[in-house]
Chain A
Amino acid sequence: MPAPEQPDHQQRFGLVDHLLGDSLLVIVILAWWAYSSRVPEYIFPTPLTVGKTLLSLVADPPMLMHTAASMVRVVTSVFTATVLGSALALLAYYLPVTREIVHGRIKPFLQSFPSIGWALLAIVWFKISNSAVIFVEVAVLIPFCLVNVSEGLRNIDLELLEMGHSFTRWNWRVFRWVIWPLLYPFVIAATRMAYGVGLKIALVAEVFGAKSGLGFLMYQAEEAADTPMVFGTCIAIVILFIIGDRLVFEPLSKLYRGSNVATAASRTA
């Protein structure tokens, strides 16, 4: 029997696609180079200048401090938002009377509140400090975690849950060995998404609420018309996202795949 045809959007790009697609990318970079060498650097910097600025963000100690400050705030915020978002989702799940409060009031409010609004309120309430930046990031990230974890809880197989309860009368054991392994992919997906959004939000939050970080650097660069630094900080965010995604979230997302879930479920028995 022939193998079922893979849906178009799941098809991987082949060698020819890479050859053609990536050569177009090279052409785009060459065009950038050609154009930037004709205009002043403050209008459009060359790829080389941007590359040097990027390197300085990790090699130059004072610059590295800014990069590290942003990363520490993002990691703290992602962790806090995941805990708070998951707590809200679990509250609505275990206490149905709070369902409408969480999903009908808190979630839509946080989802539609602009990040710039949080940033302006944070500097009034917390002054310029780490707390102000972390507050903004957490407020923006909570709905992402809440939505993902709620979706995970909604997708839990009730029969598996019932089976778990037939083996033990302790709710926490069912949570640990049945709910948690089933929920884990959704929690990781939430954290992964929050990390990506958090890096971008860090820039907005740090423009107003901090005297360090990539957002602060970017704002200073914009004021001084230092275009390579504006480019550099933006691309640094893209690179930090790729590194975090590949080195942290991809291995984490594989942790409970396949046999691990079965093993965890069998331990309940």
Chain B
Amino acid sequence: MAARDDQVRPAAFAWPRGKSRISPELAAHIFTACVLLAWAIASSVLPSYILPSPVMVGTRVVDLLTTGAYLRHAVFSIVHVALALGLAFSFGLALSALAHYARVTRLLIHARLNGFLNSFSALGWTFLAIIWFGVNDFTVVFAMAAVILPLVIINLREGFLQLEKEVVEMARSFCHRPLRQFRMITLPLLAPYIVATLRITYGVAWIISLTAELFGGSSGFGYLLNRARMEFKLDMIFAIIFLIIFIVYTTDRFVWIPLQERMRRHYAGA
């Protein structure tokens, strides 16, 4: 029996795209619709504390965005994320610069300290912070910053390694003040790496904020999540999670990607 044509093709072409009657994009839309429909059907059979309906969750999302008390928690979460990112970036930049300029510290920072920080769990930092500082905003920011810090160090290390030696040397020949050299030459060269790191850590920060606020805070979406957990309000749990996913996705799509693209064009032009 003669082999069929698609049997002798490389596996990548075993199911040619042209043969499919629907496009992958249309298939994805159908899939989304089917999942929503299945969710709606399942939620009509199950009690709402097991699976709330999409409508209930949607209503809760609207509540979260329009009710004053909830908005206050949203503001707290935004502040926690911003402060944690600021703290992690300040320490991360300082440690990466130290490892870059003082060779003696390189092994300690990149191999020992960062290896340790990277494998230390977020929950561990949160519990230690609660013991050290109590349940407050600083605990939340500290735990989040401790989780983000190794990511910042890893990414900025790459940035420092890619610095053009000739440009740095030129800066040295024009100016003898190291701080000025760093501000005028090194920092702009590091900018694409800083933006890339911000993009990665921003999403992580929002996700970690829930854990840190749930255990160590008295405000923010994580705190609301804890309250919803104790009151068995699964619709609120779903709403907060979807809101976090929405915030991370839209910021990435409309802020970080355009910024990174602009940065890429700027540096490619140079």
Contact = CB atoms under 8 A, between A and B. Distances in A.
Interface of A: 7-9, 13, 17-18, 20-22, 24-25, 28, 42-44, 93-101, 104-105, 108-109, 112-117, 120-121, 124-125, 156, 158, 161-162, 164-166, 169-171, 174-175, 179, 196, 199-200, 203-204, 207, 215, 218-219, 221-222, 225, 227, 230-231, 233-234, 237-238, 241-242
B8 A174 contact: no
Interface of B: 3, 7-12, 14-15, 17, 20, 22-25, 27-28, 31-32, 49-50, 103-108, 111-112, 116, 119-124, 127-128, 130-132, 157-158, 161, 203, 206-207, 210-211, 214, 222, 225, 229, 232, 234, 237, 240-241, 244-245, 248-249
Contacts of A114: 206-207, 210-211, 241, 244
B106 A237 contact: no
A174 B12 CA distance: 11
B189 to A, nearest CB: 15
A175 B11 contact: yes
Contact of B32 (A105, A170, A222): A105
A140 B112 CA distance: 27
Q: Is the interface of A mostly helix, strand, loop or mixed?
A: helix
Contacts of B248: 112
B107 A17 contact: yes
14 contacts: A101-B27, A113-B245, A116-B210, A120-B225, A158-B12, A165-B9, A169-B3, A203-B121, A215-B123, A218-B127, A222-B130, A225-B131, A234-B124, A237-B121
A196 B150 CA distance: 15
Contact of B10 (A7, A100, A165, A242): A165
Contacts of A94: 11, 14-15
Contacts, number: 176
Contacts of B121: 199-200, 203-204, 234, 237
Nearest to B234: A124
Given A158-B10, A204-B123, A97 B225 contact: no
A100 B28 contact: yes
7 cross-chain pairs, A with B, having the tightest CB-CB distances, nearest first: A21-B107, A234-B124, A100-B28, A100-B24, A161-B10, A222-B127, A117-B241
B142 to A, nearest CB: 15
Contact of B106 (A21, A98, A158): A21
Contact of B11 (A104, A161, A227): A161
Contacts of A170: 7
A108 B108 CA distance: 36
A155 B8 CA distance: 21
B8 A161 contact: no
Given A114-B241, A171-B7, A93 B119 contact: no
B27 A230 contact: no
B28 A105 contact: yes
